[in-house]
Amino acid sequence: MSLTPSPECAALVDSAERMVRERYDYASLRAVLASADDDSRARWHDFAELGWLAVPLAEADGGLGLAPSVASALIAALGPAAMSEPLPSQLALSGYLLGRARPTPRRDAVLARWLAGDSLLALLEPLPATGMVMTTHGDAVLDGHAGAVLDAGLADVLIVGARQEDGVPAYYLVDADAEGVARHARRGADGRDFADVALRGVRVGASERLDLTAAAPGEAQGYFALLLASESLGIMHALVRLTAEHLAQREQFGRKLIDFQELQHRLVDMQLEAVRAESMLEVARLHCDQGGLGTAAAMTSAALYQAARSGRRVAEEAVQLHGAIGMTDELVVGHYLKRIISNAIIGGHAETHLERAASARGISSPSP
Amino acid sequence: MLFEAALDAADRAFLAEVRAFLDGALDASIVEPEDALRSQVCDHPRQEAWIERLRPRRWHVGFWPVEHGGAGLGQVQNYLLLYEQGRRGAPLLSPLSITYVGPVVMAFGTPAQQQALLPAIVDGRDHWCQGFSEPGSGSDLGSVSTFAERRGDRYVVNGSKIWTTDAHHANKIFCLLRTRREQSKDALSFLLIDMDTPGVTVRPIRLMTGDHEFNQVFFDDVEVPAENLLGGEGGGWAVAKYLLEMERGAFVFGGRLRRRFELLLAGARARDDVPRAFWHEAARVDVELMAYEATEFRLGHLRAREAQTAAEPNVIKIGWTETMQRIDELALMLARVDWLYAPEPTLGPGKDGLPMSSWLAGYFNNRAATIYGGSNEIQRELIFRSLRRELT
């Protein structure tokens, strides 16, 4: 047996590494993050041409039909870019989820534009507290409000999860500029786009409804967890390398920092955390590929938790070992810490994922 | 085993064979009882009984090549065999003869040494112990001072070895010692000594739990035939280094640690006074343990030797020892007053130390894990060297 990536996977990873090397540096990213105009859409056509958007889609939808482990390897390779383009969420919560819906003319048209890099989507989950409320059956009217929806400021089309009167969720495609849709977009501390979304009397018909299995949204969330853990792993590797380079270059007390044994061992502990996160991620990748995202849910949750815990330790140590410069916005290290923290929150909190994994694995008190 | 879904047909068939064998052979008379958790050193009658059952398939020396009497298992199948045994509570076989001496004799022994020494291990006639550390040389093995002076066709050995696990059971000891006075790695040699040679004495040393696992061994004018040298005079450092790499990398602890963790959870479920914090912590340890199991397999047994960066054995040694201590610390969250003196559970097989809960004794005894086999600080040193080469 072997865990060696397939040739398609290796080619995608190669294209990602080249993209990071040639097109992403922290100075440009910083300029993007500082500007009011969002240019995170500018590179989507490149992503489409490189085949990245096709990874989670079936061949019948024009995709490559590749396994979750391939998307995971791609996102891990892109991790060091810590880019503002929201690739993990677009692959998992937009492309993959829409791909899971039964074909209809509307679904196919939206998916084709997304696959070409022409449009972005955002998913509004039907949360009990802030969720959309359906007011009629059949031709329906959507009313409600959702706070801090990832990618909703950038999106052209919203996938709106609404709770019907019987409590069962239904999912609709709604144009982001449709009448009755209001969005208030903000950039998050880690450079990602979020928006508060309000829908007032938005009319949708049966043709806008997505025909999804009950399991599909949860599986898309598992996919998202896998990709967030992957991005954090890519960042961890970058942080270990940056910190080693910094220690090798900086001198204090007449010695290179890297010659202090205390600092050597702390660098090793950073590496050991990255190994731990990578190992857990490998398990999750395998379980997703072999058993499907549904049965792998405990493992994707465990991988997200471990990436959050190890990632925090690695990034905190990287800041510490860089010293004051590590605190500034002039160095990518701080941006990486913010991204690691964000990745532990936006796909469901890492501690919630841990609880989910533990209860699926029977690690809980027997008494209620 | 976490990577079961990725096994190819041959490995899957082998795993099924191992499981079927264990279903029949690993009965209650063999399985290590919960009391045995106080120590990583399994009682000898139980080890012997298990070896008898493994011997027909040569699975007690599973990874040894067939020409030396082993089963010739590849890395993955050897892993599966050891993981499943650990997972189901098979006795941990002492690595001293099988994992340490065997491979170095294969790598460095003359044909005559191989013919004399290897069958005696396979057949269970020889039981080895390791003479590395000395009172003045712990992590710094290059500084050993036990001296072997050449006199004609013999060496005369004087000095002392310490922390010698199983010296009270072994009939042979392998020693890293000095054959020249100067402080150079070329002055070190690797000498094989019969424990019943006149001048060899063993003093028991008790652990803080009262358990007797290791000893001090004294050599007073001990005469050893010169042909007992392994790797030639002055070749001792290369042999010891090879052996230490085996020591750090050849173990499979994932299954054993998983069993330890599950026994702990079973004990917690049977009680009504377990704090909620225990379950929260157990959830974290579970994921860490999975990550360790995956690391052990991925870096130690799956990755081709040529793709390794050389630090893998060190990463694994830190991994299993620190994960084991995490489980022991989790066990302490369940401690009650009677754990301090507990007449029940009993001391466990082959143990004559202080009566206390086996979990508590395990916590104490396992503090040794991050010290032996090269302390974890030494392991970090070695990982650092490899990282530095790779990254700067």
**Chain A residues within an 8 Å CB radius of B387:** 240, 244, 267-268, 271
pLDDT tens per residue across span A5-37:
899 999 999 999 999 999 999 998 898 888 877
Predicted local distance difference test score (pLDDT) of residue B221: 98
**Chain B residues within an 8 Å CB radius of A358:** 279, 282-283, 286
* Per-residue pLDDT at A160 exceeds 90: yes
> Cβ separation of B384 and A268 shorter than 8 Å?
yes
pLDDT tens per residue across span B282-293:
999 999 999 999
Report chain B's C-alpha Rg in angstroms.
Answer: 21
> Distance (Å) from the C-alpha of residue A241 to the closest C-alpha of chain B?
6
> Cβ separation of A363 and B292 shorter than 8 Å?
no
> Cβ separation of A248 and B299 shorter than 8 Å?
no
DSSP output for A180-223: TEEEEEEE-TTS-EEEEEEEEEEEE-GGGEE---TTHHHHHHHH
**Chain B residues within an 8 Å CB radius of A290:** 5-6
Tell me the residues of chain B between 302 and 331 that have a Cβ less than 8 Å away from chain A: 302, 315, 318-319
B128 has which bridge partners? B172
End-to-end CA distance of chain B: 37
For chain B, where do the domains classified as CATH 1.10.540 start and end? Answer: 4-104
> Distance (Å) from the C-alpha of residue A218 to the closest C-alpha of chain B?
21
Nearest neighbour of B283 by CB, restricted to A3, A290, A355: A355
CATH architecture for residues A7-115: Orthogonal Bundle (1.10)
Nearest neighbour of A283 by CB, restricted to B284, B294, B387: B294
Tell me the residues of chain B between 198 and 257 that have a Cβ less than 8 Å away from chain A: none
Nearest to A287 by CA among A14, A72, A53: A72
* Per-residue pLDDT at A218 exceeds 60: yes
Predicted local distance difference test score (pLDDT) of residue A139: 72
Residue B123 CB burial class (10 angstroms; 0-12, 13-18, ≥19): exposed
> Distance (Å) from the C-alpha of residue A55 to the closest C-alpha of chain B?
21
Predicted local distance difference test score (pLDDT) of residue A136: 57
**Chain A residues within an 8 Å CB radius of B276:** 365
C-alpha span between B93 and B128 (Å, rounded): 12
ipTM over 0.85: yes
Nearest to A62 by CA among A98, A18, A16: A98
* Per-residue pLDDT at B308 exceeds 70: no
Q: Which fold has domain B4-104?
A: Butyryl-Coa Dehydrogenase, subunit A; domain 1 (1.10.540)
A128 pLDDT band, cuts 50/70/90, is low
Nearest neighbour of A267 by CB, restricted to B299, B315, B387: B387
3-state SS, residue A282: helix
Predicted local distance difference test score (pLDDT) of residue A41: 80
| Angle between the N-to-C axes of helices B312-332 and B276-295, in degrees from 0 to 180, rounded to the nearest 10 | 160
Nearest neighbour of A280 by CB, restricted to B6, B265, B291: B291
> Cβ separation of B269 and A306 shorter than 8 Å?
no
Total CB pairs under 8 A between chain A and B = 111
> Cβ separation of B286 and A361 shorter than 8 Å?
yes
Confirm or reject contact between B388 and chain A (CB < 8 A).
Answer: yes
Percentage of residues in chain B having pLDDT higher than 90: 86
pLDDT tens per residue across span B80-118:
999 999 999 999 999 999 999 999 999 999 999 999 999
Predicted local distance difference test score (pLDDT) of residue B170: 97
Predicted local distance difference test score (pLDDT) of residue B391: 87
Domain A216-360 belongs in CATH node 1.20.140.10: yes
**Chain A residues within an 8 Å CB radius of B381:** 261, 264-265
- Name the residue of chain A whose CA is nearest to B261's CA: A363
Instruction: Choose the CATH number for B128-234 among 2.40.110.10, 3.10.20.30, 1.10.1740.10, 3.90.1150.10.
Output: 2.40.110.10
> Distance (Å) from the C-alpha of residue B303 to the closest C-alpha of chain A?
8
Predicted local distance difference test score (pLDDT) of residue B352: 87
- Name the residue of chain A whose CA is nearest to B392's CA: A245
Whole-structure pTM value: 0.95
Predicted local distance difference test score (pLDDT) of residue B303: 63
pLDDT tens per residue across span A56-80:
999 999 999 999 999 999 999 999 9
- Name the residue of chain A whose CA is nearest to B294's CA: A279
Name the residue ranges covered by the structural domains of chain A: 7-115, 121-210, 216-360
Percentage of residues in chain B having pLDDT higher than 70: 96
**Chain A residues within an 8 Å CB radius of B269:** 365-366
Q: Which helix (H) or strand (E) holds A80?
A: none
Predicted local distance difference test score (pLDDT) of residue A42: 81
> Cβ separation of B292 and A1 shorter than 8 Å?
no
Q: Which fold has domain B242-391?
A: Butyryl-CoA Dehydrogenase, subunit A; domain 3 (1.20.140)
Confirm or reject contact between B283 and chain A (CB < 8 A).
Answer: yes
**Chain A residues within an 8 Å CB radius of B319:** 272, 276
Q: Which fold has domain A121-210?
A: Butyryl-CoA Dehydrogenase, subunit A; domain 2 (2.40.110)
**Chain B residues within an 8 Å CB radius of A304:** none
Omega within 30 of 0 (cis) for the link into B119: no
pLDDT tens per residue across span B323-344:
999 999 999 999 999 999 986 6
Mean of pLDDT values over B24-31? 96
Predicted local distance difference test score (pLDDT) of residue B276: 93
Confirm or reject contact between B299 and chain A (CB < 8 A).
Answer: yes
pLDDT tens per residue across span A243-297:
999 999 999 999 999 999 999 999 999 999 999 999 999 999 999 999 999 999 9
- Name the residue of chain A whose CA is nearest to B279's CA: A364
Predicted local distance difference test score (pLDDT) of residue B345: 62
Up-side HSE of residue B319: CA atoms within 13 Å toward CB? 35
C-alpha span between A315 and A340 (Å, rounded): 8
> Cβ separation of A258 and B383 shorter than 8 Å?
no
> Cβ separation of B302 and A367 shorter than 8 Å?
no
Predicted local distance difference test score (pLDDT) of residue B244: 83
> Cβ separation of B388 and A1 shorter than 8 Å?
no
Nearest neighbour of A363 by CB, restricted to B282, B295, B380: B282
Nearest neighbour of B287 by CB, restricted to A261, A264, A302: A302
C-alpha span between A267 and A242 (Å, rounded): 11
> Cβ separation of A309 and B284 shorter than 8 Å?
yes
The residues, ordered by sequence, that sit 6+ positions from B163 with a Cβ below 8 Å of its Cβ are B133, B205, B214, B372
B309 pLDDT band, cuts 50/70/90, is low
Predicted local distance difference test score (pLDDT) of residue A151: 96
Catalytic residue among B134, B247, B293, B312: B247
Nearest neighbour of B290 by CB, restricted to A265, A269, A302: A302
Predicted local distance difference test score (pLDDT) of residue B347: 84
For chain B, where do the domains classified as CATH 1.20.140.10 start and end? Answer: 242-391
Nearest neighbour of A280 by CB, restricted to B282, B294, B318: B294
Best mutation target among A282, A287, A310 (most B Cβ atoms within 10 Å) is A282
- Name the residue of chain B whose CA is nearest to A267's CA: B384
Predicted local distance difference test score (pLDDT) of residue A44: 94
The one-letter amino acid at B352: D
B247 is a catalytic site residue: yes
Nearest to A222 by CA among A48, A91, A319: A91
Tell me the residues of chain B between 67 and 86 that have a Cβ less than 8 Å away from chain A: 76
> Cβ separation of A290 and B8 shorter than 8 Å?
no
Residues A338, A301, B82, CA angle at the centre, nearest 5°? 120
- Name the residue of chain A whose CA is nearest to B314's CA: A272
- Name the residue of chain B whose CA is nearest to A299's CA: B287
Whether the Cβ atoms of residue B170 and residue B183 lie closer than 8 Å to each other = no
Dihedrals phi, psi of A116, to nearest 5 degrees: -80, -5
pLDDT tens per residue across span B137-181:
998 999 999 999 999 999 999 999 999 999 999 999 999 999 999
For chain B, where do the domains classified as CATH 2.40.110.10 start and end? Answer: 128-234
